[in-house]
Structure 1
């Protein structure tokens, strides 16, 4: 039970330092509505009170009298001036009634009928259409204080579409009415600043159905309502405390099954998790029943809850994967069912026993997929051996992880980084791991399949240290397993080979266009998100792997052709050189056109194009890479290249752009630090003076803003117009066939 208590002791702060799950917004009485019957001409104060749900109770509001328009048929006319016919008022006229009321407008057969204005003695005025002495049609109510209703009226009541505004309180409602009450779809603002509002369904003056409620604090509820209360499925977001609840509600509080999330205030790239979460049963606003709590530190608890506390039997899973069956009493750990130990309170947990993994939770490997390929009797030995191999290199691996996680990044407040997929790819390319006949896209696929990762190809997906180590073990296994003379301790041998031959000799010697010069990285990364959207779109258009966006070199050439980017400076041959510059295994460019590329390679090709089109930079790719200029091509007279250029030129434009949504991962967007700190240990050769840096930065800006992005926008616009034209044409053909048949 010591181990279980230690896990809970480490995570307890994450669970206890946040407000209770039943916290909700109750802003100054504006949450509930009075439902007093609204008749023909109610006072603006009472109308506003009904809309606001003031301090009075619902019963008190119902019992209050409201002003009504006197029945015109019961009024005695004192004077009349106007047209008559057959002794009756007929045509335009002005009538004065006993009590000081007045009507000016159209009469028909002695009745107010048609457009007119009726003014009560107390100043309440109706201007609009009348039908047989009754306001009906389009009209405007105006109260002495300036409050108004403009909209449809039926038999003296607000009915149909209309807008009510209270001059004193600033309350307003625009939407549907029925028999003088809000009914149907409508929006109400409870204050003049419009920071407190409700938009959605109404039933006889009450919020009922589906609607969105915004509060002055910025909190928002979106979901179902009944009797003016949150009831049914809904999502409540508390902005100031950064919490959210998604699930069932009953009578205004969380009740049923739902998920409560506590978002942590951490910058992108920090090692800390982004949220604590509870998923499970709620009862009257509290965690109660069966549920799972996902702690920010990586542990989880699944089991029984009572009044927001762990109570009963449950299962605690450490971040390393170790599972403890526990029993709790009022949040106190009283027994660990798979350990024979005395009860231990959570307040002072003892030290954690040694875990099944010798690496600890922060370095634990997720290699179950690979271990399944090994005979069961050897799996535990293989795990221990590869963990020992990792442990023997852990200092160097941590340094490499930290070095690459800082490329192109500013320093966060906690000085702790996560490695992005973009940086991980750069490490693999710097270490020439892709020279073993396995592309970065294939490596991503292996990692995804064996480690169960998602969104592997997203360039901004974060990797923690244990995920980084897991990725290296998986890559090493697929590259070197066939070279091993013995299958005994295969995983450890493969990892040691990868470290000795590839990682240690080459790591931290940064190449490529993106990260090699820190002073240019920030400018380049400003375009990363937009380029990722474009890459993802064309991958979905061209690629066969819909779940893992990828693009072949051939498809990249097609894209450049479709976007009309080729010219006398940027040719097919020079683009092929850019694509294959770091692929040491490709001696002939046309033989590499089917190789898959990931976003890093795509983005660095674009950066290479920027230098190629807007300035001649012979040292673009770094030490030992192919040099390219706009006037000198190493394969100018190559028949293979010329033949492939012709093939690309003959390829038609891609027209069917598809309609899939671009999925732009934003888990760790590039942080373009204005206070960027240069990495002194990056091997930078050929760094020019300040004006050369400015020239390169300007080249990047011009390429993306004046060339690449406009070309993409134009291509998408033309494609959309062509699709619309084709749809119209197909529709006409279909109509013709229907008519002929």
Structure 2
């Protein structure tokens, strides 16, 4: 039985054009079921453009092919929902937009067989703007996508069966937390980094944020991981259901250390007691700690100048950019500036040697191994304890061979004390003068300076380039995998390779050497040049930047 034989059985009435006894042209059909059609017909079939209305009032207006809604059209339902887009055999397929008034939601993207398939954006706005943008499969989130929740929280990453799965990043804006890593069944599983950001009342109340990097199981810290506390303390070891459990190492923000077993988040063994007269426990010779007398003398120097040292630390932390993770701890870049301002390089101490003097302490330290392998990384963070420990080593490097430095201290304490009085306090005094002369304008002018803006935009790329081109030297730390530097000679060759020293260029080799010679004693001596000096990433540029940013 064909469609024409069925016509009297399903059609109640027809008004319109005919051709050879068939519905052909524009017409109006009323079906026995209560449905209706008005539009173009060809040889008795709904074909072309028309509107089909169901008896409940729902409608489809658009293209038809041989009695089937196929092409582009619009569905309108009585509950206020509407679809506008491509249709195949009566089902949403292709590109289209669906608006659901009752749920105040909409979807715009790809469809297949009536379900969301491919790339698309689903938007909700019940309690606030929220939605999902990404991949779909048969109406569920699957693939890569970004979900914005009504609370403002955001997840971007992998999805499977409508839940977070694979690699992704979740930002909880309502509680200032973030997780980036692997997910499974909607929970952190595998390797990931979780950050608990701290709202600081006092600017340097906490130098950093609480941060965990390591293994996860069903949303809990489980396995091996490193927890960095906002105070600067750090734990590395085994975890079980969010608690330190098993073998681990803990270092407090003042250098006290425990290595051993943990059970249910507590140390099994004893932890060194805090001593008011010796609050800091410094490493002085690679991974070894100072002797009791050395420690007492060095702490005495620290306590005598702690107010000025702390202010100096904070002043230089305020200079330049803040790290993306919101850390207020000093970066190596800021430490370099202090060392330059302290005129240590005029004493023949290159920045690379000062970097090494501190990084050498970590040759056997598993907690801070990155400092050994990346001794010249500009964004390495230093809490106050690290800052003091680095200055002790730099003092030994600068004045370790000098005699009669102090009548009160000997050894490392004497060289550290001399560094403070001879280099750091004069720099601190100059900083205070600048602050009084232009209170509040130093950072503003620094940030607005065009050269500094360019440095911030490209310094990460420059450091990557520096690492690629730098090479190991005879002075490199023997256990370090990243202690690579450039010499002035290599730097000149690089400029030449990049075309900066062409005959048509205004830049000449003597001008380049003069930049280094103005800051590194021994580079130039009456027309004779020593081009084997090692230089760090930012060597040679600080003075020009500093002159502009500080109005000197």
- Give the TM-score band, short-chain normalised: 0.7 to 0.9
- 1:594 Cα offset (Å): 6.2
1:46-61 maps to which residues of 2 (within 5 A)?
none
- CA distance in structure 2 between the aligned counterparts of 1:386 and 1:560, rounded to whole angstroms: 53
Hey, what does 1:80 align to over in structure 2?
A: 15
Using the TM superposition, give the Cα deviation of residue 199 of structure 1 relative to its aligned residue in structure 2, in angstroms: 2.6
Q: Can you list the C-alpha shifts for 1:190-226, whole angstroms capped at 9, x where unaligned?
A: 2278722123333322333443322110122334444
Give the whole-Å Cα distance in 2 for the aligned partners of 1:512 and 1:566: 41
Q: What is the alpha-carbon distance in structure 2 between the residues aligned to residue 289 and residue 605 of structure 1?
A: 49
Q: Is it true that 1:509 corresponds to 2:426 in the alignment?
A: yes
Q: C-alpha separation between the residues in 2 aligned to 1:563 and 1:409?
A: 40
Structure-1 residue corresponding to 2:315: 407
The match for 2:355 among 424, 440, 444 is 444
SS at match of 1:517: helix
- Within the candidate set 143, 167, 188, 2:77 is matched to 143
1:230 aligns with 2:168: no
Aligned 8 A contact 2:224 2:237 in 1: yes
**Matching residue within 169, 172, 178 for 1:244:** 178
Correspondence for 2:442? 521
Q: Comparing both structures, which one devotes a greater share of its residues to strand? A: 2
1:206 to 118, 127, 140: 140
* 1:391 has 2:299 as partner: yes
Contact 1:100 1:120 in 2 (8 A): yes
Q: Corresponding residue for 1:66?
A: none
> Which is bigger in relative contact order (C-alpha 8 A, separation at least 6)?
1
Alpha-carbon distance change, 208 to 186 in structure 1, aligned in 2, over 3 angstroms: same
Residue 533 of structure 1 is matched in structure 2 by 457
Q: 1:565 to 1:277 in 2, by over 3 A?
A: farther
How is 1:590-609 mapped onto 2 (pairs within 5 angstroms)? Answer: 591=529, 595=533, 596=535, 599=538, 601-606=540-545, 608=547
Q: Give the match for residue 704 of structure 1.
A: none
Would the aligned equivalents of 2:224 and 2:236 in 1 still touch at CA under 8 Å? Answer: no
Residue 172 of structure 1 pairs with residue 106 of structure 2: yes
Aligned equivalents of 1:564, 1:608: Cα separation in 2: 30
CA contact (8 A) 1:95 1:103 kept: yes
Compute the TM-score of the two structures, normalised by the length of structure 2. 0.72
Question: What is the aligned counterpart of 2:343 among 432, 436, 442?
Answer: 432
The answer as to 2:30 corresponding to 1:91 is no
Does residue 464 in structure 1 map to residue 383 in structure 2? Answer: yes
Runs of 5+ unmatched residues, structure 2: 1-5, 363-368, 404-408, 472-481
1:300 aligns with 2:221: no
- 3-state secondary structure, aligned to 2:103: coil
Q: 2:282 aligns with which of 362, 365, 372?
A: 365
C-alpha RMSD over aligned residues:
4.7
Question: Which secondary structure state, in structure 2, belongs to the residue aligned with residue 230 of structure 1?
Answer: strand
Question: Taking structure 1 as reference, are residues 124 and 262 closer, same or farther at Cα in structure 2, changes over 3 Å only?
Answer: same
1:219 aligns with 2:153: yes
> How high is the TM-score relative to the length of structure 1?
0.56
What is the distance in 2 between the residues matched to 1:365 and 1:295?
19
Unmatched tracts of structure 1, length 5 or more: 1-70, 340-350, 372-378, 486-490, 612-619, 622-741
Q: Is the 8 A contact 2:178 2:196 kept in 1?
A: yes
Equivalence for 1:493 = 411
Shift of 1:467: 1.4
Deviation at 1:156, TM superposition (A): 0.8
Measured after TM superposition, the shift of residue 295 of structure 1 is: 3.7
Aligned residues: 500
Are the counterparts in 2 of residues 77 and 97 from structure 1 also a CA contact under 8 Å?
A: yes
Equivalent pair of 2:330/2:381 in contact (CA under 8 Å): yes
- Supply the distance in 1 between the matched residues of 2:262 and 2:503 (Cα, whole angstroms): 67
Bigger helix fraction: 1
Does the C-alpha gap of structure 1 residues 578 and 264 become closer, same or farther in structure 2, counting only changes over 3 Å?
same
Q: Which moved more, 1:165-174 or 1:243-252?
A: 243-252
Q: Cα offset for 1:473?
A: 3.4
